[in-house]
């Protein structure tokens, strides 16, 4: 089974995270940040993967360290679970409508890290979550998973819907990319490795 379990303990956060790419249960997220828990649950459900996160962070400062470090650990765990990436599609793209909003995620599990983030939030906070942390999370995820990730809101007004469409689209694009394709022999690269 393609799975990984990682612990990260720093002076700012303590994170325990488990991921399984080939099971859809359990999904259990506890970060102390309600909106972020909701987004990670959407990511896992739409990615059809099992994700367990217990995070304790310095939320009396703000949510930044917790969100960033969860992105780091999730990226590391996904990279470890993917192993040598033999037979995976490698690429994934998804467009997700959320009422008036349309979000897009396109990614490449290339072994190279890059984030393009084209989304404007008009509200600085959603619950106790700073909307600027959406980009911080995806930056940490992309760099630690070593993937190219392009995120864009094509149109939309509601900030909750914008964030939700990006997390759902990224989960769905990731599912496409990590799926083992019987037509792919070895690694889906002319280099011979990803």
Per-residue pLDDT of the chain (194 residues; tens, 9 = 90+): 899 999 999 999 999 999 999 999 999 999 999 999 999 999 999 999 999 999 999 999 999 999 999 999 999 999 999 999 999 999 999 999 999 999 999 999 999 999 999 999 999 999 889 999 999 999 999 999 999 999 999 999 999 999 999 999 999 999 999 999 999 999 888 888 88
- Say how far apart CA 189 and CA 110 lie, in whole Å: 9
* Cα→Cα distances 55→2, 15, 25, 104, 124, Å: 22, 4, 19, 28, 23
- Say how far apart CA 97 and CA 164 lie, in whole Å: 10
- Say how far apart CA 177 and CA 182 lie, in whole Å: 13
Q: Can you give the pLDDT at residue 26? A: 98
Give 16's DSSP letter: E
What the block records as the tokens of 78 is 């996904």
Q: Can you give the pLDDT at residue 1? A: 86
Q: What is the pTM of this model?
A: 0.97
Angle, helices 34-47 vs 159-178, to 10°: value is 30
Q: Can you give the pLDDT at residue 189? A: 87
Q: Can you give the pLDDT at residue 194? A: 83
Give per-residue burial for 112-138: e unless 16+ CB within 10 Å, then b.
Answer: ebebebebebeeeebeebbbebbebbb
Q: Can you give the pLDDT at residue 168? A: 98
156 in the Ramachandran plot: left (φ > 0), alpha (ψ -120 to 50) or beta? left
């Amino acid at each position: 089974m393609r799975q990984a379990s990682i612990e990260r303990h720093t002076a700012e956060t303590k994170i325990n995270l488990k991921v399984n790419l080939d099971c859809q249960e359990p999904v259990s997220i506890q970060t102390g940040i309600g909106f972020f828990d909701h987004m990670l649950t959407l990511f896992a459900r739409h990615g059809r993967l099992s994700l367990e996160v217990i995070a304790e962070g310095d939320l009396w400062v703000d949510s930044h360290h917790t969100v960033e470090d969860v992105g780091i650990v999730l990226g590391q765990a996904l990279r470890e679970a993917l192993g040598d990436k033999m037979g995976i599609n490698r690429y994934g793209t998804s467009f997700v409508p959320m009422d008036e909003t349309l979000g897009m995620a396109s990614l490449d599990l290339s072994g190279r890290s890059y984030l393009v983030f084209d989304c404007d939030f008009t509200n600085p906070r959603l619950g106790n979550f700073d909307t600027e942390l959406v980009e911080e999370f995806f930056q940490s995820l992309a760099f630690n998973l070593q993937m190219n990730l392009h995120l864009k809101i094509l149109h939309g007004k509601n900030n909750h819907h914008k964030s939700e469409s990006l997390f759902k689209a990224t989960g769905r694009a990731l599912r496409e990319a990590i799926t083992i394709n019987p037509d792919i022999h070895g690694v889906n690269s002319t280099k011979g490795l990803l």
